[in-house]
Amino acid sequence: MSDDGKRLFGTNGIRGIPNEDLTPEFCMKIGKAIGTFFGKTIAIGSDNRLSNSMIMDSVISGILSTGVDVKNISILPTPAVQYYCKRNHIPGVIITASHNPPRFNGIKCIDEDGTELERTKEEKIEHIYHKNAFKVASWEHIGKEILDNSAAELYISGVLSKIDVEAIRKMKLRVIFDAGNGASYRTTPELLSRLGASLVTLNANPDGLFTSRESEPKPSNLKYLIELAKSGEFALGIAHDGDADRAVFVDENGNFIDGDTTLSLFVQNYIREGERVVTPVSSSDAVDDICKERGAEVIRTRVGAPIVSRTMIERKARLGGEENGGIIYGDHQYCRDGAMTVGIILDIMAKKGKKLSEIISEVPEYHITRKTIPRKNDFNNIKAKLLKIFPDWNVDETDGIKLRKDHDWLLVRPSGTEPIIRIFAHSKSLGASQQLCEEAEKIIS
């Protein structure tokens, strides 16, 4: 990372390749900026990537030099670190690259309420970094590193306190869980056993190379989980991404349930009349149908979990989430939370006394086909072309461009971090959404 005054924090913290972008020197300097900015005890945790010790030790060293103490809470899912910050009212740092390939790592800051740090505060840290405006403690005031192993227990109890544990235990579920070699290897199995589930775990060995499967919880990476679920021996299958802020599910027949359907299921069963749900423009119309029926309001935002969380707080919404398996339950905490999502789905199954496939069939059916293509043209040209080809479609420019006719819509947005365009095509049937997606791809390329 250079010192030329440029932005360091992206949409999800600082990401880069260790010893290329994330050198020990850079990480220590960022630690100094973070310590200077917060000026009070900071919690630090990580996922289980190979470079974590190097990065974490450098960040800690930088923080301690500013006279600030560090609570090292070790390897945990991202939402467990956030929950620790929220409950202890202290800021935090997480060393993680979420679902990115193993060569990447990252540094993310958390505010005292457990939410991802606001952009304006990140800018202050960047300013301190670029100006070398670090606090330097005298030798007798250098910070102390305190090891604290209470965070996992705090997190699991927090999730359990939000669901009907007895009702779930009575179901005596047989569950298959895929940790994908990631940071959830301890917490989610522990949560499931306390919920009385008999458990088969896959890839529950932490492995920074992610040898068993890629970290993104999509069907092509979950073939073994789906295959085993098809045996009919399990009530459901569960998988997280690397840092376990997201969860996806497989039903008792081995059918993959996408994150969009899980979000709808959550809203359908947890929403109360007069409440608000916050979700980006990329999730399906099912949420709108459910809220209309229940007398609730849907607030649509730009894509990105921190934006959804922030809007939930501002607009006093208890429920929110994204279409990629990231559910945000404000009664628990205002961030995406994989283990909480698991608790919610089991809670719904227990309350309804039904199988997962039966509950899913009650969600309004829509399909979204997604595609990523290289960005060759200026986005304004792409927009002009789309407007010309769909002249009578309703236009929404909350994020990229969203064109709508009834329940058919097309969302085209440039990625904030890579030279790519993301296409989302939504329709009542899978065939129609696939066709719309193909059409958009032809127009854009």
The catalytic residues are: 98
Ramachandran angles phi, psi of 309, nearest 5°: -60, -45
- Angle between the 151-160 and 78-88 helix axes, to the nearest 10 degrees? 90
**Shortest Cβ distance from residue 412 to Mg ion (Å)?**
24
Q: Does 214 bind Mg ion (CB under 5 A)?
A: no
β-sheet with 327-329: strand ranges across: 297-301, 276-280, 319-321, 327-329
Contacts of 38 (CB under 8 A, 6+ apart): 68, 91
Q: How far apart are CA 351 and CA 334, in angstroms?
A: 24
CA distance 386 to 439: 10
Q: Toward Mg ion, which CB reaches closer, 78 or 283? A: 78
Interface residue with Mg ion among 116, 178, 245, 347 (CB under 5 A) is 245
Amino acid at 136: V
Question: Does residue 98 belong to the site contacting Mg ion (CB under 5 A)?
Answer: yes
CB 301 within 8 A of CB 277: no
Stretch that binds Mg ion, among 166-174, 206-214, 234-242, 401-409 (CB under 5 A): 234-242
- Of the candidate spans 118-126, 145-153, 200-208, 243-251, the one that interacts with Mg ion by CB under 5 A turns out to be 243-251
CA distance 284 to 297: 15
Sole binder of Mg ion in the list 243, 258, 288, 347 (CB under 5 A): 243
Q: How far is the CB of 218 from Mg ion (least distance, A)?
A: 13
| Residue span binding Mg ion (CB under 5 A) among the ranges 94-102, 229-237, 296-304, 382-390 | 94-102
* Residue span binding Mg ion (CB under 5 A) among the ranges 53-61, 98-106, 327-335, 432-440: 98-106
Our finding on whether 116 is near Mg ion (CB under 5 A) is no
Cβ-proximal residues to 361 (8 Å cutoff; 6+ apart), any chain: none
Does position 301 interact with Mg ion (CB under 5 A)? The reply is no
Nearest distance from C-beta of residue 305 to Mg ion, angstroms:
9
Nearest distance, CB of residue 243 and Mg ion, angstroms: 4
* Distance between CA atoms of residues 71 and 272, nearest Å: 38
Minimum distance from residue 259 beta carbon to Mg ion (Å) = 12
Residues at the contact surface with Mg ion, assessed by CB under 5 A: 98, 241, 243, 245
